[in-house]
Structure 1
């Protein structure tokens, strides 16, 4: 809501009612009044959604949204939710409808009904699932009733990550991503017959665009899984942010050896999840090597979501954190070496003292006896 003051009183213009941007869900209402309004009487606005690259390109989908055609379906939601670092798919499949089928790296639920709505689900092993034709409420309900009950989540997130887009079906258009809108249209047949499982069950959406929806879903699942990793890394970096200041003020690392090793283990876990797991964020899945059209769909949405750019940024942050920990580890090593030197010096001193206490009298007698004999010998020689 944008409030403009010092204008003619009692004038209120609702721009969203006449603006094509209203179709994008971007409403703008301009309230004009004399003086300053009492903010205490106004309800607090909802927390805005994160500004994603697709939201910044939302205007590109405006021509499709405001110019309906007889062949075009209504605009429906695509909602992605990441609730954990991974799912155990075989365990989860037992709690899904019997029509559920494995589809490459996912479980495909062709029909899922909830709150009078019907859609389909793609569930991936990276801890994300994508709902086509279902919104946030249905996705949250699925996570609460199915995922929690199945106990298939690995390292459940304290705060799930989400991404919401929209799609439209139009057989007269080509399948593509335009702005923040996915257009499901003409999709070429797959190059390999094994790309689509045999005996597909009836689904909510057309079968000919199934693999296109799968490719878009996998890109979305990677983006939200990466968002979860980005959030965890930010929390980690925040926990380490005070260490350089502590080093400046005290000259000490500010962490013990065990605590530093644990932090290093967390950092290695981030890097492993980002680059080394089977479902990493850098490589294109093997399935697309033989399907260039589907690879194009996957890459188009991945690029729109800036997955590779964000992956490089996360790697850079991890590299910085690793360098900082390397410095702290060297300081701890130097401190330990200095402490060991002091301990060795103290031990040598203690050993010397013990030797003096134990063998001192004997040494004293040996020295005094020798001096007495030398003096007697000198006297004899003198006479």
Structure 2
């Protein structure tokens, strides 16, 4: 009973799930099973910003309820008031590029309640999305209302994507923690190939974070300035900018440490080569000395034989 009371208090949920590196939006748009139950709208003309899907009227039990999800190119789905999340994710699975491990996906799910109201302005307040529909001609189905929820969803999707990156980086950072302990004891537990793999991993992660993520782009709001306030509220609530800064700082540290170890391994390899060259030179000198003494010995022996023959004569 207490659980049911708590659920009724928090209200319907907005749930953000990162499933993989990216979605094939155009293919997902053409899925016959999705088309059967959901109607869609492009957020922008090219569908680059994302897609909006809502239950068709004939499948709505209550017409005044929000039942929708936003699909983002960077592999994130944001559900509003939908309980059929597992079913939708199964339909979308075939359109995911480089899907994440299911355990990681479940650990980094983010959720927050929302409330439809006629009193407060549309905003984030007390850890809840407040959606004012009074000002919209067709209530929550109007383009303006959908775009407001898109802006909130955009910020929330960015947050869950960062959570995935934070988790991936933390997993690799554990390896570095073991390595620093080994360094303090005077040895390097890695081989050069392992170091190069880590350098490549961190470089690829930094590229994904800073150059290859559409969620971090705010170009959409240049032409939709009236939505930027809602997006900024979500970004501030989920501390996106601070987390991005910390994430890049942690990446800097990890990359610097790995490059330091790479330099140490390169120096050790160069030292090994130097010692090998020195040993080869020493061996060559020894052979030259032996060859010299050998020739000297034979010369003396021949002289003795020659002098002995002369004496006999």
If asked which structure has higher relative contact order (CA below 8 Å, sep 6+), I would say 2
Partner SS state of residue 189, structure 2 = coil
Q: Aligned match of 1:130 in 50, 55, 78?
A: 78
Superposition pairs for residues 89-108 of structure 1, below 5 Å? 89-95=25-31, 96-97=34-35, 99-104=39-44, 105-108=49-52
Q: Whole-Å Cα distance in 2 between the matches of residues 274 and 24 of structure 1?
A: 37
Q: State the Cα RMSD in Å.
A: 3.2
Q: Whole-Å Cα distance in 1 between the matches of residues 175 and 258 of structure 2?
A: 13
| Aligned-residue offset at 1:173 | 3.5
Is the CA contact (8 Å cut-off) linking 1:169 and 1:183 kept in structure 2?
yes
Is the CA contact (8 Å cut-off) linking 1:77 and 1:132 kept in structure 2?
yes
Is the CA contact (8 Å cut-off) linking 1:88 and 1:152 kept in structure 2?
yes
Q: Whole-Å Cα distance in 1 between the matches of residues 268 and 86 of structure 2?
A: 51
5+ residue gaps, structure 1: 1-13, 26-74, 190-201, 373-383
Partner SS state of residue 311, structure 1 = helix
Q: Whole-Å Cα distance in 2 between the matches of residues 312 and 164 of structure 1?
A: 23
In structure 2, relative to structure 1, the CA distance for the partners of 1:357 and 1:115 (3 Å cut) is: farther
TM-score of the superposition, structure 2-length normalised?
Answer: 0.80
In structure 2, relative to structure 1, the CA distance for the partners of 1:133 and 1:293 (3 Å cut) is: same
Q: Whole-Å Cα distance in 2 between the matches of residues 22 and 124 of structure 1?
A: 28
The aligned residue for residue 311 of structure 1 is 244
Structure 1 position 121 matched with structure 2 position 56: no
| Aligned-residue offset at 1:273 | 1.8
From the two aligned structures, give the one with the greater strand fraction.
1
Is the CA contact (8 Å cut-off) linking 1:88 and 1:154 kept in structure 2?
no
Q: Aligned match of 1:146 in 91, 116, 131?
A: 91
Q: Aligned match of 1:177 in 118, 124, 141?
A: 124
Is the CA contact (8 Å cut-off) linking 2:75 and 2:96 kept in structure 1?
no
5+ residue gaps, structure 2: 305-313
In structure 2, relative to structure 1, the CA distance for the partners of 1:157 and 1:101 (3 Å cut) is: farther
Is the CA contact (8 Å cut-off) linking 1:110 and 1:203 kept in structure 2?
no
In structure 2, relative to structure 1, the CA distance for the partners of 1:275 and 1:114 (3 Å cut) is: farther
Q: Whole-Å Cα distance in 2 between the matches of residues 164 and 203 of structure 1?
A: 24
In structure 2, relative to structure 1, the CA distance for the partners of 1:131 and 1:364 (3 Å cut) is: same
Deviations 1:314-358 (A, max 9, x none): 111111112221221221122112101111111112222343455
| Aligned-residue offset at 1:215 | 0.7
| Aligned-residue offset at 1:21 | 7.8
Q: Whole-Å Cα distance in 2 between the matches of residues 315 and 280 of structure 1?
A: 16
The aligned residue for residue 164 of structure 1 is 111
Q: Whole-Å Cα distance in 2 between the matches of residues 204 and 364 of structure 1?
A: 107
Is the CA contact (8 Å cut-off) linking 2:20 and 2:76 kept in structure 1?
yes
Structure 1 position 110 matched with structure 2 position 54: yes
Q: Whole-Å Cα distance in 1 between the matches of residues 54 and 9 of structure 2?
A: 28
The aligned residue for residue 11 of structure 1 is none
From the two aligned structures, give the one with the greater helix fraction.
2
